[in-house]
Chains A and B, each alone.
Chain A
């Protein structure tokens, strides 16, 4: 089975721009979660989608948004980029039950200049 894929792998943007990241889950998985990883804050949960509905949300400003499509693929968007948004963005997929393992993609590394 193919793993979780994320595109693009690397991205450079300037302050004020917006960016869209994409995540394709493992086939059959209906839940996609997004995380931000930075050296200072570590790994922080952004949000989770299941069957096109956001089920859970972390403590990030409204500039961070996401969506999920009917094929379970998910996108995350960050508007009005700030320098502090530079990070590795990871998505993870799972079948959907709370206790099931989340499988992570390789991440998208975003640099904001």
Chain B
């Protein structure tokens, strides 16, 4: 079945450090890929998405490129801020007719220290 694997957390960085959170997937057809972020006590917010191979999603300094050959969608940011501390989820919607079903990775907790 469809699955998403994220790097083990938690990740702890100093402000202005470079961030990479790895995400790989297994899916049928041509999935759409997403990164969501969850701040304490809140729901999920879309961070970025890509719907086909080689697409690059970007938002608020975060980027991720849909790599079909390596089935990956790694999240990167060049310089993190304390306000980026949150839980990050990689997710996919598979190809075909699987409506409305996001499959999520286990989440990666990011803590950024001043």
Contact = CB atoms under 8 A, between A and B. Distances in A.
Contact of A106 (B43, B46, B101, B102): B43
Interface of A: 4, 31-33, 35, 42-43, 45, 48-50, 55-56, 58, 90, 92, 94, 96, 98-99, 101-107
B58 interface: no
B22 interface: no
A103 B36 CA distance: 10
Contacts of B100: 31-33, 45, 48-50, 55-56, 94, 98, 102
Interface of B: 32, 34, 36, 42-46, 49, 51, 89, 91, 93, 97-107
**Which secondary structure dominates chain A's binding surface?**
strand
B49 A101 contact: yes
A99 B89 CA distance: 17
